[in-house]
Structure 1
């Protein structure tokens, strides 16, 4: 996509300016367009949108790019940002990208690069892969050869046509079927794994993976229901080695929070007034609530009030997608995440960062720690305004939803870095612009 936008912008300015101006304009134009595409989720490897959904994202990304470039033109008064030229470049970039994207939806150009994967096991653990990766879009990076029956496997509902009964040795099967990766997903490993055959496959360049590592790589989450202590102890990650990030964490987050406040204060003012108009000027505009943050310490989070004043008169409970306690203004500001903007204060005082697991209420944390293994580990990093789980999983209101989000939170904790935080911040734009909030 970068080369398409670069080539299109290059064509439209070539006739007016010298080579250096053309190069500078084209590179900046392409960078802005790609950033907009990234922010609107167009580079998600498992984007599930149909053609119309993709078109909507492309139009929004192109429109945002055009508005931003026009703003740059106004601020810097650069003559080469001609409005008509810029409009034409954006339009033809949109058309060229749309044609290529449409073609890619119809034809899988990269299918030849898929890995052939054999699952060793056909029991309960293997069934998790079958359930989680049953759609083609979940298997974009690999071809599933099947599930090899192993001694000790429990019964499962894996379709019979996907179960493989190895009639020859594992090494021969791997060679004949060009298997690139073997995933160990047996229910009982002790004395049941063909260690010598796996070793021979490994020497021939075949990747041998544990189901946890495979699941993590393909889904962007850590399956907490499959974790065993030794994997957690010897696994890489779960600690930040970036000393600059560690030492300047508050300065970076506070600076970003102040910048966000400068941009959004008019929206915040309008929201405050709208809340007052709906519920009366005596009703509070903000809502303070106890949450659990870093190392299990409680702090008070601040949000725009999106529920009725007496929302908890019947006790504390999960907020649901169609919660009747939510006000009309509240429903709108939740959808576009405007209710979270006052948490800029929490970021500045150091209670939260911009990226991290969303903080939960102490009452929910006490319960979830009892029913979900490793739930407390999400408190090993500072809570955030947005996070990996918020990008990957819709709003949830149950123990099962909390467990699914924990899988993404643990993945973030294991892999977190400045670049990952930056990616999450950029892709949060998709949630806000497309109204994917609660």
Structure 2
């Protein structure tokens, strides 16, 4: 069959790769000039199975109220005249019920674990270099209440077989000496040795190159205007190419992996897609003293920020801003990331004078559980809604999507669409 994939981030590119391994003719369309130029460009770099947790928790509504008026808060809600934002917000509150926490964590963890195994397999077979580290992820906490709350989700994950080891404040410093200057502010932590980190942009770019070498066609600088359907099936995507000309790209199967913009493509067809953008920020710094820089990926849980060494760079990323589809940089939020880098490591370890700021729109569902599978339109599939875990879940989501298109039962026990 001919399969048309809309989007060339880690989700779309992984989908295209695995579809091609099944022998399909695959064509990928993206409005950017190359793969992984938007949400997959400069994220936090973590492949974090042990921290595959939803934003929607019983404590989340209270925290949102506390953060509501802070421009530098970890989660910033800016009300818009957009019914989709309010609909998403109400659904989010519904997912904050205690009864929803365990099933959401279970679904996310199963897909995340499967995806990490898939990534490891791809790394071995393809030999892709993407500054990856297999040194685990260390999370530290700055308040006792944050530490205690985090252990509720951690206990669910431990029941699922995730080894998330609790650490004292001194053990946090022993595990990552680069945090020694923060000892007085740390109350405890947890560590998972099996988690990883790496540059998703490098990986996705290399995977797209290998896919193209195997016959996947990539159309860049091409905007998808709408999907055309007739008789209960999508028969073409209407596009505008880099030369300004309209063209219809026909296919047998269509996969929407367009991140935060997925809902705009499928909603006119009557297909539900509860995805809304959650803008995340990152700042990337050049490492000046590798001996004093962190040797593993870190999470500052209280500030909702991750810190990942990527070769000779250090990336500080996080926060979420529910403010519509604007990708403009908020100066206050950017400077907050630089302050965290300065406070934790200082100007002798990092070149803080030239931060490389970036913002991307994460495709978030109210439950944080992504949408993967066949829609009510038989030849239209979704692979979107991964939120902050696109890198963690991307390789496995692409493989699972290919299984579903082929009519195979996917390996993870994940609540995929079309069941």
| TM-score (norm: length of structure 2) | 0.27
Structure with greater helix share of residues = 1
Higher normalized contact order (CA 8 Å, seq sep 6+, divided by chain length):
2
| TM-score (norm: length of structure 1) | 0.26
